[in-house]
Structure 1
Amino acid sequence: MKKYDRVGRRIAFAAAGPAIALVAAVALTSVVLLVSGKNPFEPYTVMFEQATFSDIQVLILNDAAGYYIGGLAVAIGFRMNLFNIGVEGQYRLAAMVTAVVGANVALPAALQLPMLILVAMLTGAFWAGIAGILKVTRGVSEVVSTIMLNSIATSVIGYFTLPSVFGVQVGNNKTTGEMAESGWFPGIDMGAAGEVYGFVFVAVALGIAYWVILNRTRFGFDLRATGASESAAAASGVDAKRMVFTAMLISGAVAGLAGMPILLGDTHTYSLSFPTSLGFTCITIALLGRNGPVGIAFAALLISWLDNASAELDYVGYDTEIAVIMQGLIVIAVVVSYEAVRRWRLRAQQRMVGEELAAGHTKPTAPGDPGDDDTEKEVAAR
């Protein structure tokens, strides 16, 4: 098979899963609307119309930056066959600690911003590292430990925001106080549409770094190999436990940056009104984006659009929960559609190999022989 045929086939199968999931989610949401006596098409028309307004576009882009960074954090864990469900606690704790440091330390901007970013990364890495240590030393499932750490993080945040500790009482709200202006990350003024967070560009840089490290470095290869098979990686000289712990640290460090777009670009303080549930939403984004930087970007923009454009539904007689229903259905549809596509891909590869063997265009590949990597892996797995 020609190289461009293989590339086209891979792209088609990669796009099939998300496409099927989105179509299924829209169809099921429409059924829910129809059963409840609502117009099954009008909500989508309203939300698409909202996306044409410049102020909504800025909101979508700004929120997508945090979603994208959180999605990368989850994807790093997935690549290692780890389910870091603790991104929620890691990013919130990192945002709170960063806000406290920013409110009590004032350096020149050239030093203040790098310091705050480093604080956020170290806090997120520390919180994820606890789960990593429990995983490699005691065999504790990272799912269980990170869920528990999410709850502990909430309590820690509640303590540190007490007025008697680092908190500041502002009316009925508790905050960490306003950060020094030198720690405000500059953005791009779009006039009446608002300001695009400067951290959007940091998110793009993180996506590029994620792809390069994962696909063009020895560390990335070791990480993917350990995620595929710890025993096989160990046989090739990779310390599987060290890779698991390192992956959790990196995932936590990236998660710590997920709250920075809004903290450094807008609120400049951590309070009770700081966004929550971003970490859980990012699991959906990583799944929908298939752990790839480009796919995660499209998924982040989609979820951000659903969040911001659905606010208008209240004014036309629909519930904003429609967007929440669609997000939940996307999660279910993603799991089912990816498994279906995996089976279709396996059958297609087996059929392709059989046809080429019958036509005499190729020969069975022995271990180590060059060939279609995906085909060899799938046939071996079969």
Structure 2
Amino acid sequence: MRRSRIFWGTVAPVAAILTSCLLMYIILSLRGESPWELFKLMVSYGFEPRNLVSEMNLTVSYYLAGVAAAIGFKMLLFNIGIDGQYRMGAFFGAVVGAAIDLPPVLHVAVIIVVAMIAGGAWAAIAGYLKVRRGVSEVISNIMLNFIAAAIIAFLLSPKLLGSLPEGSQNVQTKPIPASGQMPTIKIFDGQVYSVFFLAIFVGIAYWVMLNKTVFGFNLRATGLSFRAARSSGVNAPGMIFVTTVLSGAIAGLVGIGTLLSDTHSYSMAFPSGFAFTGLSLAILGRNHPVGIFFAAFLWSFLERAGQVLEFEGIPPEIVIVMQGTIVLSIVIAYEVVARINLKQQQRAVGKVNTEVLAEVEAK
């Protein structure tokens, strides 16, 4: 039974990716292009050393967003507020990091903790509204994303927490001193952010917390059945609130790599869209830390490799179509797999019942 579940759990994402490739093949053929040549070009471009470095750095951010979304999914929470939580984490991490002067390791640790607190605190608003007022976390988080962006834009004023470097039109926070910066690792022709190791730690901690702790058991139990968990003595509303805060805290780390290893300051030029990406990766990776990593690398690879299509006169937005098809296909595939597993379980139970009845009749 376990082998069957693993088999179908592997087949589902593979089938979704192949379906997406087939759709892309059809679209390119209708344009009169040679799909195979373009696929080869994308693969060749995506695996160039300098592009692999960029993909790895982007994978780390996507991975953290995916883990943040997966924590929410385990509680059946749709944390679409990852974008706002990540921005609050990166912004306040940058502000505090620029304002203090500490030894190197301690300085970086304080920035990371501040980013997690800021992201978690912002998510706590949606958690409170969900538990105390019954407000859907989807609605509240969508609103909170816009509010976060507006608050940061206001605070980034040169008269408040922002600064305008000479010769630049991009308002940003004051730069973080060298003691608060994270080193990079030189690989190929680029620099890989050392926050990669932090992402590995987060993935391991997420798996251990979920599978080896009482909190993780209560989290999964509450996600499976709120009423059953509450009846068994679990503080289900409290679990929902804590899980929401934990998801927001991880989301607060999404921009740490860019902040501490690249820009060393926060500006409105920081990328957006991590909410939908994180949710998609959690679905594709089945909320498993290893699955989310491969999904994150696939996403970053497609985005980077898709840039070469523009040189061939093909809109790079076709990559977005491909990603969307993967998500849609994986949802359908997992539903089919769930039904197959259910039927197999029913057959197994029926077989056991038949054997038991046969033994009783024989006696």
Mark yes or no: TM-score above 0.5: yes
Shift of 1:39: 2.5
TM, length-normalised to structure 1: 0.90
Name the CA distance, whole Å, in 1 between partners of 2:275 and 2:100: 28
TM-score w.r.t. length of structure 2: 0.94
State the 1:350 CA deviation: 2.2
1:103 aligns with 2:98: yes
Aligned match of 1:139? 134
- Given that residues 105 and 180 in structure 2 are in contact (C-alpha distance below 8 angstroms), is that contact kept between their aligned partners in structure 1? no
CA distance in 2, matches of 1:363, 1:232: 35
The within-5 A match list for 1:1-382 is 6-170=1-165, 171-190=168-187, 193-358=189-354
CA 1:361 to 1:31, structure 2 compared with 1: closer, same or farther past 3 Å?
farther
Indicate how the Cα distance of structure 1 residues 174 and 8 shifts in structure 2: closer, same or farther if over 3 A, else same: same
User: What do you get for the CA RMSD once the two structures are aligned?
Assistant: 1.8
Moved more, 125-134 or 97-106: 97-106
Deviation at 1:361, TM superposition (A): 11
Secondary structure at the residue paired with 1:41? helix
Q: After TM superposition, which residue ranges in structure 1, 4 or more long, deviate above 6 angstroms?
A: 360-364
Task: Call closer, same or farther: CA 1:145–1:30 in 2, change over 3 Å.
Answer: same
Alignment-mate amino acid for residue 239 of structure 1: N
Q: Is the 8 A contact 2:156 2:163 kept in 1?
A: yes
More off after superposition, 307-316 vs 58-67: 307-316
Letter of the aligned partner of 1:78 in structure 2? F
Counterpart Cα distance in 1 of 2:133 and 2:61: 33
Supply the distance in 2 between the matched residues of 1:63 and 1:361 (Cα, whole angstroms): 58
For 1:229, give the aligned amino acid.
S
Query: CA 1:138–1:10 in structure 2 vs 1: closer, same or farther (change >3 Å)?
Result: same
The separation in 2 between residues aligned to 1:41 and 1:269, in whole angstroms, is 42
272 and 222 in structure 1: CA distance in 2 versus 1, 3 angstrom threshold:
same
Where does structure 1 lack aligned partners over 5 or more consecutive residues?
1-5, 365-382
Matched to 2:103, the amino acid is P
Q: Which moved more, 1:252-261 or 1:274-283?
A: 274-283
Moved more, 141-150 or 29-38: 29-38
Query: Which residue identity lines up with residue 21 of structure 2 in the other structure?
Result: V
Distance in 1 (alpha carbons) for counterparts of 2:161 and 2:222: 42
Specify the code of the residue in structure 2 equivalent to 1:189: K
**Is the contact made by 1:132 and 1:244 (CA closer than 8 Å) also made in structure 2?**
yes
Q: CA deviation at 1:225?
A: 0.2
In the alignment, the residues of structure 1 paired with residue 207 and residue 185 of structure 2 have an alpha-carbon distance, to the nearest angstrom, of 26
The residue type paired with residue 78 of structure 2 is F
Shift of 1:35: 2.4
Amino acid at match of 2:194: G
Listed one character per residue, the Cα deviations across residues 22-55 of structure 1 (whole Å, up to 9, x for unaligned) are 1111112222222233323333211211233111
Equivalents in 2 of 1:329, 1:187: separation in Å?
A: 35
> Is the contact between residue 91 and residue 279 of structure 1 (CA under 8 Å) also seen in structure 2?
no
Tell me, which stretches of 5 or more residues in structure 2 are unaligned?
A: none
SS at match of 1:97: helix
Contact 1:33–1:39 (Cα < 8 Å) also in 2: yes
Q: Secondary structure at the match of 2:174?
A: coil
What is the alpha-carbon distance in structure 2 between the residues aligned to residue 61 and residue 362 of structure 1? 59
The structural deviation recorded for 1:201 is: 0.8
Name whichever of 172-181 and 62-71 sits farther off: 172-181
Percent identity between matched residues is 44
In structure 2, distance between residues paired with 1:340 and 1:10 = 12
User: Which one is further off, 212-221 or 172-181?
Assistant: 172-181
Which secondary structure does the structure 2 equivalent of 1:173 belong to? coil
Q: CA deviation at 1:9?
A: 1.2
SS state at 2:132 partner: helix
Contact conserved, 1:43 with 1:318, CA < 8 A, in 2? no
Q: CA deviation at 1:357?
A: 4.7
Task: Indicate conservation of the 8 Å contact 1:21/1:334, yes or no.
Answer: yes
C-alpha distance in 2 between matches for 1:35 and 1:361: 61
Alignment check: 8 A CA contact 1:356 1:362 kept: no
- Asked if structure 2 preserves the Cα contact closer than 8 Å seen for 1:188 and 1:196, the reply is yes
Report deviation, 1:253. Answer: 0.4
